[in-house]
Amino acid sequence: MEQLRATAGRLREQVAELEVRARARPRIALAEGILVERYRLAHAQDAFVLLRRASQHANIKLHQLATAVVRTPGPAPG
């Protein structure tokens, strides 16, 4: 019975993590698009790699970095 409870607890944690990822995915995609446009990247995948590396380097969650990208205004035109 204890093993069943432990398994159920782990599964609840996994579901919670997947829910966070699912909610964050549109924000990450938006951040990818912003980076592609701002830095004239060839592909969204290039932007994702850039986000992932910056996230790891700064030791912050990818979805938090994506939120910062979305909220940060771009450079002034001209």
Per-domain boundaries in the chain: 2-71
Q: What is the pTM of this model?
A: 0.75
Q: Which CATH class is domain 2-71?
A: mainly alpha
DSSP secondary structure letters along the chain? -HHHHHHHHHHHHHHHHHHHHHHHHHHHHHHHHHHHHHHT-S-HHHHHHHHHHHHHHHT--HHHHHHHHHHS--PPP-
Q: What is the pLDDT along the chain (78 residues), one digit of tens a residue?
A: 888 888 988 989 999 988 988 888 999 999 999 999 999 999 999 999 999 999 999 999 999 999 999 999 988 876
Instruction: Output the pLDDT for position 21.
Output: 83
pLDDT at 51: 97
